[in-house]
A and B are shown apart, each in its own frame.
Chain A
Amino acid sequence: GAGVSQSPSNKVTEKGKDVELRCDPISGHTALYWYRQSLGQGLEFLIYFQGNSAPDKSGLPSDRFSAERTGGSVSTLTIQRTQQEDSAVYLCASEPGSGANVLTFGAGSRLTVL
């Protein structure tokens, strides 16, 4: 696609429920990143993919968080048993994979856990 697409744009869920956030990167971009932006906080690195592989998962906050990428394209970030502290905007970005690190960001998915 022309840009990085994320869905849903807004998600309200109850504590304890599972949520899935989707990112559709720019076509042909091999690198894909997930970040979390909490109110008043900066961008917290979660995970990045090179192709379908995730060389660095160190940013995932807990084992309730997981992410996958299939076909070198769409990625899904899953949060199990959501907690109120998971409330944040989850940002996805993609990059051609050239190593130049010029990221194109999506508009984000705002998650609210009640």
Chain B
Amino acid sequence: AQSVTQPDIHITVSEGASLELRCNYSYGATPYLFWYVQSPGQGLQLLLKYFSGDTLVQGIKGFEAEFKRSQSSFNLRKPSVHWSDAAEYFCAVGDNNDMRFGAGTRLTVKP
């Protein structure tokens, strides 16, 4: 079965700084890859997804992620973080209705 690793449990960045959240997956073929965000008191919201094609995908709220097959990675990036980006971020891998999530990375944004 596929699995997802998010190495960073908690990351703190200053507002306006760039952000990269790491995600590594284990899967035999090219999976579907996702990033979800969970803001305090909110449900999970899809940020972006990768199915095939261009390995750099754009999402909502200014986020992007790059699929790197050679590294089995799908890192999430944002050039300039806003205070409202403080949340828990989950990477997920899916294959035909089998969806597995990473443990999440909590992002704190300093003023």
How many whole Å from B84's CB to the nearest CB in chain A?
19
What is the size, in residues, of chain B's interface with A at 8 Å between Cβ atoms?
24
How many interface residues does chain A have, given as a range? 20 to 34
A48 contacts the other chain (CB 8 A): yes
- Is B43 within 8 A of A105, CB to CB? yes
B88-103 contacts to A, CB under 8 A, are 90, 92, 94-103
Q: Chain B residues with Cβ under 8 A from A31's Cβ?
A: 97
How many whole Å from A5's CB to the nearest CB in chain B?
11
A41 contacts the other chain (CB 8 A): yes
A50 contacts the other chain (CB 8 A): yes
Task: Describe B's contact surface by its main secondary structure.
Answer: strand
Q: Chain A residues with Cβ under 8 A from B90's Cβ?
A: 42-43
Question: What is the chain A residue whose CB lies nearest that of B102?
Answer: A42
A2-48 contacts to B, CB under 8 A, are 31, 33, 35, 41-43, 45, 48
Question: What is the chain B residue whose CB lies nearest that of A48?
Answer: B97
Q: Chain B residues with Cβ under 8 A from A58's Cβ?
A: 1
How many whole Å from B23's CB to the nearest CB in chain A?
12
Q: Chain A residues with Cβ under 8 A from B45's Cβ?
A: 105
Question: What is the chain B residue whose CB lies nearest that of A44?
Answer: B101
Map CB proximity to B onto A50-76 as digits: 1 under 8 Å, 0 otherwise: 100001101000000000000000000
- Is B32 within 8 A of A108, CB to CB? no
- Is A42 within 8 A of B51, CB to CB? no
Given contacts A43-B90, A107-B43, contact A95 B97 (CB under 8 A): yes
Given contacts A41-B103, A42-B103, contact A99 B44 (CB under 8 A): no
* B interface residue numbers (CB < 8 A to A): 1, 6, 32, 34, 36, 43-46, 49, 51, 90, 92, 94-104
Further contacts, 8 of them, CB under 8 A, given A43-B101, A101-B32, A108-B43: A31-B97, A41-B103, A42-B103, A48-B99, A100-B51, A105-B36, A106-B43, A107-B43
